[in-house]
Amino acid sequence: MKWWLWAGLGTVAAANTEAVVIDATGCDHRDADSNVEILSGSIQSQVAPVQFENVTKRWKLVGSGKYQVRLCWPASHPGSFKVTAEGCEIKVTYDPDYYSHLLEDPIEVPYELIADPLVFGIPHSVVGTIGLVAVGAVSSYFLVDPILEYIL
At residue 30 the predicted structure's pLDDT band, cuts being 50, 70 and 90, is low
In a shared domain, residues 37 and 100? yes
Give, as one character, the DSSP assignment of residue 105.
Answer: S
Same domain, 128 and 150: yes
pLDDT in tens, 79-121: 788 889 888 888 888 887 766 665 666 677 788 888 888 888 8
Over 60: is that where the pLDDT of 8 sits? no
Question: Are residue 82 and residue 114 in the same domain, yes or no?
Answer: yes
CA end-to-end distance (rounded Å), the chain? 33
Tell whether 134 is covered by a domain. yes
Rg of the chain over all Cα atoms, to the nearest angstrom: 21
| Residue 152 and residue 103 share a domain | no
Domain assignment of residue 9, yes or no: no
The closest of 146, 26, 38, 18 to 92, measured between CA atoms, is 18
For residue 62, which of 19, 31, 83 has the smallest C-alpha distance? 31
In this model, does residue 21 exceed pLDDT 80?
yes
The reply to whether 105 falls in a domain is yes
Expressed as residue numbers, the domain containing 32 is 17-119
Q: How does 109-124 read in b/e, with b if 16+ C-beta sit within 10 Å?
A: bebebbbbebeeeebe
In this structure, the strands spanning 122-123 and 109-119 are antiparallel
106 by DSSP, 3-state: which?
A: coil
Residue with the larger pLDDT of the pair 88 and 122: 122
Average pLDDT over residues 13-22: 76
pLDDT (0 to 100) of residue 138: 94
Going by pLDDT thresholds of 50, 70 and 90, the confidence category of residue 9 is low
